[in-house]
Amino acid sequence: MKLSIAVLAGDGIGPEISKVGVDVMQAVCDKFNHEVTFTHALCGAAAIDAVGDPFPEETFRICQDADAVLFSAVGDPKFDNDPTAKVRPEQGLLAMRKKLGLFANIRPVQTFDCLVHKSPLRTELVKGADFVCIRELTGGMYFGAKKEGADEAYDTCAYTRTEVERILKVAYEYAMRRRRHLTVVDKANVLASSRLWRKVAQEMAPAYPEVTTDYMYVDNAAMRMIQEPRFFDVMVTENTFGDILTDEGSCITGSMGLLPSASTGESTPVFEPIHGSWPQAKGKNIANPLAQVLSVAMLFEYFNLIDEGKLIRRIVDKSLDENVRTPEIQVEGGAVYGTKEVGRWIVEEIKKA
């Protein structure tokens, strides 16, 4: 198979983990006799510094022409600490989602037995937790009408039936492939937009009789994720709620550096770790690359290259079991491995497999 991949390393630790992701993908393609080409492009603060645009038109064209995008992270403190900045790195991420029509963000939340002790929750609550958060990406407050003045500001949460139907369809398809349990998260007791979500979900549910559909207010869902994370199989919700809940879900595993994600929709899919750019760690060779590596596994699986994805997942599990880990998840007294060293180890294990 021939694959053309756009690589958007971005900011902070992005270039470091991006290199690991590219190396791992190349190693897997070599092993399975796939032909892969990588085209690198600017985004985020790096793109602002270079051309004044966090998602330049050239980057958009490169993404459009690719089969998939391997993305890393955007963000820089010089923008975070300037509330008057008119252009921000994160605007590039939103622009990419909007221009590529990426309306569905899929974030698996999976625990690793050897790391459950790192979770802030008790082991008996966390062990075995395995669910998927599906977040609508291109609607809601992030893209609704806005006003920002000295004395008044607002963000409009707007959704259409079409937008709700298409994300619910994705959620039901995931539920059918998993344990056939879908939780629709909203705030229908207060918000009109949420009542549309619930109405459309209730209309669609009979088309999926094999799936148990339940409905949960977002505040209750946030609490239930902490009290009983194993309750969930597939969770679907709107943009803002999804942003918050998926970050909460990531903490269950004990490290945001372990969780990948995919954004899919009308055009080129994007695969990325869920963590940010962690600018404080930039250039220190301490960032955990495993979420980036697992994003590569999701990329292969998207193209139905299941064995390739399984190999990556098996090697990642082996790296954790053998304590080939970056500092934030390393066991006490374990060997010191940096981003580069973990990446090289995984590539060598792929070659030997």
Any idea which residues carry the catalytic annotation?
142, 187, 219, 243, 247
For 344, half-sphere exposure in the C-beta direction (CA atoms, 13 angstrom radius) is 6
**Which of these, 290, 297, 237, lies nearest to 271 by C-alpha position?**
297
For 139, half-sphere exposure in the C-beta direction (CA atoms, 13 angstrom radius) is 21
Q: Are 6 and 66 in contact (CB under 8 A)?
A: yes
Q: CA-to-CA distance for 63 and 6, rounded, in angstroms?
A: 6
Q: Which amino acid is at 350?
A: I
Q: CA-to-CA distance for 71 and 74, rounded, in angstroms?
A: 9
For 318, half-sphere exposure in the C-beta direction (CA atoms, 13 angstrom radius) is 14
Give the residue ranges of DSSP H helices in the chain.
14-31, 44-51, 57-65, 77-80, 89-100, 123-126, 161-177, 192-204, 218-227, 239-252, 290-302, 306-321, 339-352
Q: CA-to-CA distance for 9 and 17, rounded, in angstroms?
A: 8
SS3 30: helix
Q: Are 314 and 10 in contact (CB under 8 A)?
A: no
Q: CA-to-CA distance for 18 and 24, rounded, in angstroms?
A: 10
Q: CA-to-CA distance for 314 and 331, rounded, in angstroms?
A: 20
C-alpha distance across the termini of the chain, in Å: 20
